[in-house]
Amino acid sequence: MTNGQGVIVLGAGPAGLVSANILNDAGVDCVVLERSTREHVRTRARAGYLAPNTVRILERHGLAEGVRRRGRTHGVCEFRTETTRFRLEYEGLGAREPHTVYPQQDLVADLLARYVERGGRIVFGVEAQAVLGADGPRPEVLAHDPDGAPVRWSARYIAGCDGRHGAARRSIPAGAVRRHRMDHGVSWLGLLAEAPPSLDAVGYAVHGRGFAGHMARSADVTRYYLQCERGAGPDAWSEEQVWQELSVRLGADRFGALRRGPIVQRAVVDLESDVLEPLRYGSLLLAGDAASLISPSAAKGANLAVLEAELLAEAFIAELVHGDSEPLERYSHRCLERIWRAQEFSGWMVRLLHGTGGFDNTHGFDHADNFDNALRHSRLESLRTSRSHQDWFAENYVGV
Ligand code: RFL
């Protein structure tokens, strides 16, 4: 229930909360419905690398105070193989801009605090079941309130920012939008360690035992990734085996020991991508992971979510405050251009970082396909030696 003229935002992730802040500041009647608790939303660790354009969007709308105060700029990545390593100082290449490292849960906590401070309405513990009547002017959200009782909320528009498994996607009738889907055939065990970073760069290890990644989150928390067997559970490796495997793949004996600490979060991520087209079904519009899922290989998901959220909120404001429907009509097209570019780069990263052929947790790759392996090493060599290749990488790596 907004006054029926405004916007219901489904989901309090980066997409939903950026949209809701911008709408609320413009005086648009808006309410956020979030299925989880406030505490869960504020503490869910996921992304951490914000693109310069993301920071500019947050700044434009007065949402960047925490990022500016506590975020750290970062502009180096290091590629490792079984025999060698090289560093790319991408901050000085391509668009000549760095990332800002700022944990996604801190960004979400900032966005939430500011929204509530400014009188924004949000209801936690409300799980949307379906969006009804989106093909007409009075869409409704059918939901369960925290006590499990059914409730209905209505508005002029629904912003579907409730992620890949949310109600927004499910509510679009089969055939009304196209879903382009790609399974990259690779799985990562995502780990969060209460340990200081082990290198002063984002680390990407390309190894016969599989990919390993290192990404700083803060002075005492580091995210690691280990390529794992499809279908393996998050606890398939003991903590000791995890550190052992990370050390082997990252070449700790040659390039420096890893700084260990307790593993506080484990999740298996299947590297998949999909794009819905268009990002609109009548009065239901999609943003963030609900619009497009992207493999985490190039750290684009949260950045796309913020970019789409700004475009969507501004399009709603144009329509609801100024009577101009054109930005809403162009919304899908404008987002899709950026989404496909990010998908292309993320897919390129997947192919750069992983071998082909059978893979299992015990042996790594069976190295059946030597041709593809050689191509991968040639690609890395080109990145190490060619300035124009490095510029292309930097431009795509920090851009969306
Ligand atoms: P979110 O963050 O998933 O938020 C959706 C919100 O909707 C709620 N919800 C519902 N609410 C009401 N009714 C329902 N039926 C609902 N269903 C769901 C959920 O509780 C939640 O609060 O989506 P959003 O806002 O689109 O943001 C997307 C980003 O979170 C995501 O793309 C990134 O985290 C992806 N990602 C990364 N992106 C980057 O840009 N840089 C990174 O370094 C990066 N690292 C990552 C990542 C994702 C990861 N996982 C867990 C998939 C690392 C990992 C491990």
Q: How far is residue 178's CA from residue 276's CA, in Å, rounded to a whole number? A: 6
Which atom of ligand 1 is nearest to 16's Cα? 25
**Contacts of 238 by beta carbon, 8 Å cutoff, 6+ apart:** none
The domain segmentation of the chain, as residue ranges, is 7-72+101-180+273-347, 183-271+355-398
Instruction: State which amino acid sits at residue 63.
Output: L
**Contacts of 183 by beta carbon, 8 Å cutoff, 6+ apart:** 270, 271, 272
- The full 3-state SS of 97-165, as one line of letters, equals CCEEECCHHHHHHHHHHHHHHCCCEEEECCEEEEEECCCCCCCEEEEECCCCCEEEEECCEEEECCCCC
Half-sphere exposure (Cβ direction) of 276: Cα atoms closer than 13 Å: 27
Q: How far is residue 305's CA from residue 308's CA, in Å, rounded to a whole number? A: 5
Which atom of ligand 1 is nearest to 190's Cα? 55
User: Which tokens in the block code for residue 81?
Assistant: 């193989």
Cα(351) to centroid of ligand 1, in Å? 24
Cα(127) to centroid of ligand 1, in Å? 16
- The full 3-state SS of the chain, as one line of letters, equals CCCCCCEEEECCCHHHHHHHHHHHHCCCCEEEEECCCHHHHHHCCCCCEECHHHHHHHHHCCCCHHHHHHCEEECCEEEECCCCEEEECHHHCCCCCCEEECCHHHHHHHHHHHHHHCCCEEEECCEEEEEECCCCCCCEEEEECCCCCEEEEECCEEEECCCCCCHHHHCCCCCCCEEEEEEEEEEEEEEEECCCCCCCCEEEECCCCCCEEEEEEECCEEEEEEEECCCCCCCCCCHHHHHHHHHHHCCHHHHCCCCCCCEEEEEEEEEEEEEEECCEECCEEECHHHCEECCHHHCCHHHHHHHHHHHHHHHHHHHHHHCCCHHHHHHHHHHHHHHHHHHHHHHHHHHHHCCCCCEECCCEECCCCHHHHHHHHHHHHHHHHCHHHHHHHHHHHHCC
Q: How far is residue 226's CA from residue 242's CA, in Å, rounded to a whole number? A: 8
Q: Which of 115, 225, 296, 331 is catalytic?
A: 296
Active site residue 204: yes
Cα(148) to centroid of ligand 1, in Å? 24
Q: Which of 14, 52, 74, 354 is catalytic?
A: 74
Residue 121 pairs with which residues in a beta bridge? 31
Active site residue 367: no
Q: Tokens 């251009």: give the residue.
A: 337
What pLDDT was estimated at residue 366? Answer: 63
- Output the CA–CA distances (angstroms, integers) from residue 194 to 76, 108, 216, 233, in the order listed: 22, 21, 11, 21
Cα-based torsion angle of the residue sequence 169, 175, 177, 182 in order, rounded to the nearest 10 degrees: 80
Active site residue 74: yes
Active site residue 99: no
Measured over the CA atoms of residue 256, residue 262, residue 263 and residue 265, the dihedral's sign is: negative
Residue of 55, 104, 140 with the most ligand 1 atoms within 8 Å of its CB, for mutation? 104
The superfamily in CATH containing domain 7-72+101-180+273-347 is FAD/NAD(P)-binding domain (3.50.50.60)
Strand order in the sheet with 99-101: 49-50, 99-101, 72-74
Residue nearest to atom 18 of ligand 1 (CA): 162
Q: Tokens 């300035």: give the residue.
A: 387
Mean pLDDT per block of 10 residues along the chain (400 residues) reads 77 98 98 96 89 97 97 95 94 90 95 98 96 95 91 96 97 96 95 96 94 92 95 95 97 97 96 97 98 93 98 98 98 98 96 83 72 88 96 91
Cα(305) to centroid of ligand 1, in Å? 9
What pLDDT was estimated at residue 389? Answer: 96
Residue nearest to atom 26 of ligand 1 (CA): 288
Second CATH level (architecture) for the domain 183-271+355-398: 2-Layer Sandwich (3.30)
What pLDDT was estimated at residue 358? Answer: 72
In 212-221, which positions are buried (b, 16+ CB within 10 angstroms) versus exposed (e)? bbbbbbeeeb
Q: Which of 204, 225, 281, 331 is catalytic?
A: 204
Q: How far is residue 399's CA from residue 304's CA, in Å, rounded to a whole number? A: 10
What pLDDT was estimated at residue 359? Answer: 79
Q: How far is residue 130's CA from residue 259's CA, in Å, rounded to a whole number? A: 46
Active site residue 225: no
Ligand 1: which residues within 6 Å by Cβ? 10-16, 33-36, 41, 46-49, 104, 127-128, 161-163, 166-167, 190, 267, 269, 288-289, 296, 299-303, 305
What pLDDT was estimated at residue 59? Answer: 98
